Structure 1
Amino acid sequence: MRAVWLTLGALTTIVALLASTAALWDGFASTRMPEDTRQRSIPFSDRKIKISSSRGDVHVSIVPGQAGEVFIRGTVRWTRDRPTVSEDWDARTSTLRLDVACPETGRPEDPRCMADYLLSVPPETDIEAGTTRGDLDAGHVFGDVRLTSVSGTVRVNDLAGSLWARVGTGDINAEGLNADKTDVEVGAGDVNLSFVNPPSAVRAVVRTSGDVGVFVNSGSYDLTVAGRNTTVDIDKDPASPRKITAKAPDGYVTLCCR
């Protein structure tokens, strides 16, 4: 009988240990970086908005919103001490500056911090946005879009106006383009462009390492193509008014139909 009770006690202890271990792992899994989310709206009646971030990891997504205002929703995350965040609006130039700075300790394991911003702008607004370190997203807008990032990925979706983008290190991915003119270039990274209607002028360039892919509807184009490996599956016509330039000196260049 005593052996039975010892066995039951051991089983109970094992079950308790398993339960406590599971709870402990659940606690670790659910641990997240502290975060703070704020939002506000700014009266806006201009034709163009400029967005600038020159400090910290700042990721910006731009979507269509209501006429007459710019809606800003920002979420800041950090690992140790709360960072310093600045959101400065210059009504005279319609420029929004977004910066985040982590407290510095002088140690290699300095804390990390980052900010994610969702900006809603009137749909027909022309957009000029640039980050030093961070991704840029823009989608479903009708104005012209101009994007720059020193280090980060540029993503564009369902754009009606023209697109101009420059990235130092990172990719440019654009889908659902209805843009008549597109001019994109990266230092190191990949470029992928997909059009829903035949464009008039496309320039897609990788300066060092990376690949280029351009996908258009059927039709003939005046083509300028350069790459270590090239695949062209669209009609080439030097007399065509529609022009595509695609270059990746050390990568793959693919031009194809949709």
Structure 2
Amino acid sequence: MFSYKRLEDIFNYIRSNEYTSIAKLTSLFKVSDRTIRSDINNLNDVLQGASIQLKRRTGYYLQIDNEQEFNAFLNTISKRESDTKDLDSSQDRMRYILTTLLYSHDYIPTEDLSDAVFVSKNTFSNYIKAIKKLLTQYNLEYIVKPGVGVKVIGNESDKRECIINEIHPLSEYSTISMLTKEEKVYFNDVEVNAIIPILISVFKKHHVETDDYRLKNLTIYFALMISRILNDDYISAINSTQIDSVKNLV
């Protein structure tokens, strides 16, 4: 429900206080005024039966417009707490930055990226150095536009290879019966469970035998393809190497 952990934390803090100043929020979460305002807008986009309002010279407060709808919303988010991105480790934070860059079509202000992962400028700089080095392995380029932001450019096929290897690595211990927490979060726009019976049906029709882990990996491969298409990221033509990479999953 909340696309990143800070949104959940801000919501819970405002909800538990009568009024909360923007100064208090920037101090608590170590982000800029602009980032807090953006977070509030994002919260209001997902809240149901309530909204976060601002009272001049006082602060933000939670306004409940429909108690029944709001309670249903609370029940929903309590069931989806595990779907919120964790940014506890350096690996989690670097994965989040990499994902944001690979899924964005526009330049992203570096301040927004560093604020989103709660790190210092020095730590963020080290993350970017590591990410730039990683991107070169996939023929992708990290470019900076002064005064505007940063973005990653390159072929869509290379971006997908980077995503499948670095963000959703295909594991020999992975099983179709259990999606990881990260998979649930990153593929929340795709009905992953709907892909499985389709693949099984095709396998049966063509007398293809496969095991549980290969079925899971192929499902993730198709989920990624659908997710990228929904994000308006297309591959104009599939070459023989890409076809072979899919065959190896079966």
Taking structure 2 as the reference length, the TM-score comes to: 0.28
Higher gyration radius (CA): 1
Query: More strand by proportion, 1 or 2?
Result: 1
Query: More helix by proportion, 1 or 2?
Result: 2
